[in-house]
Amino acid sequence: MESTNNLTSGDRVYILGSTRSSKWYFQDIPEDKVVSRKDLEYMSAEFPNFKYLVIDRNEALKGPNNVLSKYIVENRSSYDLIRIDELDVYVRI
């Protein structure tokens, strides 16, 4: 997808999702650029440093009021939303 450069631009990606979403969808991205962790409170200070914030919609159903979702709502004007399959990809403008 052109608007995300297929997520291979070298920018950092944070994923809230399953192993499938982090391994399957992001297999072509250098490993040191992709972070998939569930300790959201710890990672929240880093959210502004990621070009892409990705939420697997199935994972979001388990905890819709998580720290990442709240961060995105509070900073919505700084991100464009792109839906790819079961993922919501927020791209920092």
The domains located in the chain, with CATH, are 2-92 (3.40.190)
φ, ψ of residue 56 in degrees (nearest 5):
-70, 120
Spatial contact of 79 and 53, defined as CB atoms under 8 Å apart: yes
Classify strands 52-56 and 87-92 as parallel, antiparallel or unpaired. antiparallel
CA distance 30 to 44: 22
For 39-78, how does the pLDDT look when each residue is reduced to its tens digit (9 = 90+)?
A: 778 888 999 999 989 888 888 877 778 899 999 999 999 9
The DSSP H or E segment spanning 79 is strand 79-84
Q: Which residue has the higher pLDDT, 31 or 1?
A: 31
